Amino acid sequence: MELNAKVYVAGHRGLVGSAILRALENEGYTNLVYRTSSELDLRNREDVLAFFEKEQIDYVFVAAAKVGGIAANNDYPADFIRDNLLIQTNVIDAAYRSNVKKLLFLGSTCIYPKFAPQPLKEEYLLTGSLEPTNEPYAIAKIAGINMCQSYNRQYGTKFISAMPTNMYGPNDNFDLKSSHVLPALIRKFHEANEAEAPSVEVWGTGNPKREFLHSDDLADACLFLMKSYEDSEIVNIGVGDDISIKELAELIKDIVGYKGEIVFNSTIPDGTPRKLVDVTKINGLGWKAQIPLEEGLRSVYTAFQQEHLIKQ
């Protein structure tokens, strides 16, 4: 990927897209293209085709998606499958029609069956039933993977797909109604600490285990794959280690400095019991995550505090 190549980051304001943008800028890429959702609605096929035709882009990172936690997925299933299918279909097809050199499609490890063996290997895709709470999102992402593979087979494109594990980092979504578990816990403990509340409620039993990857590590992996990987088969991106939600809550509690009690609400569904990815493939290619969880959490909480102060 030449330093003067024109690179488009779809979803550049989000958690993942903003990290990819930072990584590109840090490596000396200056011919970067991006649009806000108000400037370009990726759900609109005609607008996306016109954008690609005008810009003549060389490389594409597809980090744009409608994302959310269990509550959002459960409340808006139609929005999740419709918007994600439209976004990825329009971008992938426009990339082919405008002769983009290479495209990286970002999925999610929620594509794997709910009760797949752990750790999750790439070949487990489509070997069992999905987790019901995020099935519409997962099906959309699986369709995106297959679309990249099909375009490669029929048209000779170089479209690759990477499946990151649970993400966290700067520019995360801290809205309690739509966020994922880690940013939601940061906000809950922060607000409880400020209010001197006696307890913090954590959804579920606390028993499920999750793996957490810093967005800067993911961005580094994305650039690595864009430069060195050309196979149609998916690649997991993760750290190869996980932590229970209970342990995560205790860690965030300590980082925030909260002294109250943690109460687990077991009436709320846990979701998938465990979701650890097998990173043998990407490690074998020469990439490995570098940011330890506690270090990453401390930096994210510091950034959250600064942002919180600005908004007050």
pLDDT tens across 228-267, in order? 999 999 999 999 999 999 999 999 999 999 999 999 999 9
Q: Is residue 216 part of a domain?
A: yes
Does residue 181 sit within a domain? no
106 in a labelled binding site:
yes
The CATH number assigned to the domain holding 162 equals 3.40.50.720
Residue 300 has a pLDDT of: 95
Q: Half-sphere exposure (CA, 13 Å, Cβ side) for 69?
A: 20
For the chain, the average pLDDT equals 94
What distance in Å separates the CA atoms of residue 46 and residue 185, rounded to the nearest whole number? Answer: 40
Cβ–Cβ under 8 Å, residues 68 and 80: yes
pLDDT tens string 39-80: 999 999 999 999 999 999 999 999 999 887 777 777 889 999
The answer on pLDDT for 275 being more than 60 is: yes
Please give the C-alpha separations between residue 14 and each of 49, 113, 160, 171, 270, in angstroms, as whole numbers.
22, 26, 21, 6, 26
Check if the beta carbon of residue 227 is closer than 8 Å to that of residue 5: no
284 marked as part of a ligand binding site: no
**pTM of the predicted model, to two decimals?**
0.92
- Give the dihedral sign, CA 289/295/297/302: negative
The catalytically annotated residue of 137, 168, 229, 258 is 137
Known binding residue 109? Answer is: yes
Tell whether 214 is in a known binding site.
no
Q: For this structure, is 29 an active site residue?
A: no
Average pLDDT over residues 198-218: 95
CA distances for 264 relative to 70, 159, 185, 205, 258, angstroms: 16, 43, 12, 6, 16
17 assigned binding-site residue: yes
Q: Domain for residue 309, yes or no?
A: no
Establish if 137 belongs to a structural domain: yes
Does 20 have pLDDT greater than 80? yes
Q: How many domains does the chain have?
A: 1
Domain that holds residue 79: 7-171+211-241+275-291
**Is 29 inside a domain boundary?**
yes
Residue 176 forms part of a structural domain: no
Whole-number Å distance between alpha carbons of 96 and 56: 11
